[in-house]
Amino acid sequence: MFFNNHRKGSIRQWLFVGLVGVLWFDVGGADEGSFGPFTRDLSDTEWGYQLLLDPTGFAPTEEVERFEVRPGDCSRDGDRDDCADNRERSELTERARSRKPVTGPQWYRWQVYFPEDYEVIYPARVVHAQFSQQRLGTAWVFEIGATGVLWVGNRLDEKGSYQALIDEDSLRGQWHDVVVQVDWSNKNGSLMVWVDGVRKAQFRGRTCSSCRVYFSYGIAREQIVRFNQAYPGTALPTQVVYYTNMRRSRLVTGLKLSDEPSVALEGHESTPDPAASAEETVTKTEATTAETPAPTVVSETVDTPPVSESVPTQKPPTDTVSADDRP
């Protein structure tokens, strides 16, 4: 299922659910899949996070999560100080974090919506989802670059390896379905990303170092001083982004939404839900038994559709991204 319905009319009236955020406030209203509770981290503004009825009219759920960052939305917590570090944010982060390294494959999925009035703030950076390692910082980021493209970036690589996920022309005004498969390893791992069912990025190699990985999403603005230097006297714009259906699973089938027979991903063969398949088999069997057998007709030639022995897969991108175009 893909969510590419564009918002062309006016946004309907919002109905806000009273969620006043405080530091490390548990958020339990959204569909969190197998993630468990998320918390607001270093963000305590009333407008920064809200759970509300879908204002776009096209979300796959009735309720969505709304993140907003305004100029000056920074906070402090112990030895962490976003204000001193030129950061502003409104994020949710996993509260329960493993004391042991995460190993092997994991699947992640979410839907995200950038409004039509979303503004790019390059040369400051805006991260909208990230995999971090405890005490070691960010390993992988999903961020907006100079040209308004959403990228996935490997921050374990000192040179900075980025691959484009959503072009600027397609970014705003529609819901995007993002699926990530990661084989967590400090040696031979892999990471693949699909957007709206199409494979957009693939990395092979080290995907973590300590591998004590946790996930955050929302809006995190970094290196704000670069924007101020590039546009002196210009205030940073307010940014808003919507999310829903945050999911994580060891198997791709665990990402399936209630109205999907399977998760359709280019180059990946999904297994239908066993319960649904069993029900369909029983229904077909009962229907066949109830019918009166028809006379058997033997034909010397039988027309059958061609059978494809293999599904073509998209090769990993080999293009190199110039420093000017990368986030």
Q: Is 168 left (phi over 0), alpha (psi -120 to 50) or beta?
A: alpha
Instruction: Give the pLDDT confidence score for residue 327 in this predicted structure.
Output: 53
Residue 131 has pLDDT above 90, yes or no: yes
Closest CA to 106 of 201, 38, 189: 189
Amino acid letter at 59? A
Beta bridge partners of 163: 152
Peptide bond into 55 cis (omega under 30): no
pLDDT, one tens digit per residue, over 182-217 is: 999 999 999 999 999 999 999 999 999 999 999 999
Each domain of the chain, given as residue ranges in start order, spans 26-255
Q: Which residues contact 43 (CB under 8 A, 6 or more apart)?
A: 21, 23, 49, 73, 75, 89, 90, 91
pTM of the model: 0.77
DSSP for residue 255 = G
pLDDT in tens, 297-324: 333 333 333 333 333 333 333 333 334 4
pLDDT band at 1 (very low <50, low <70, confident <90, very high): low
Q: Examine the pLDDT at 18 and tell me if it is beyond 80.
A: no
- The strand pair at 38-40 and 26-27 is best described as antiparallel
- Condensed to tens digits (0 to 9), the pLDDT of residues 66-85 reads 999 999 999 988 888 899 99
Higher-confidence position of 14 and 129:
129
Rounded mean pLDDT, 4-25:
40
Q: Is 219 helix (H, G, I), strand (E, B) or coil?
A: strand
- The answer to whether the beta carbons of residues 141 and 157 sit under 8 Å apart is no
**CATH no. of 26-255:** 2.60.120.200
Return the minimum-mean-pLDDT range out of 155-169, 199-213, 227-241, 260-274.
260-274
pLDDT at 298 (0 to 100): 32
How confident is the model over 159-176, as pLDDT tens digits?
A: 778 999 999 999 999 999
**pLDDT confidence of residue 270:** 55
260-268: which pairs have CB atoms within 8 A and are 24 or more residues apart? 260/1, 263/109, 263/179, 264/1, 264/197, 265/179, 265/194, 265/197, 265/199, 266/194, 266/197, 266/198, 266/199, 266/313, 266/314, 267/199, 267/311, 267/312, 267/313, 267/314, 268/181, 268/194, 268/199
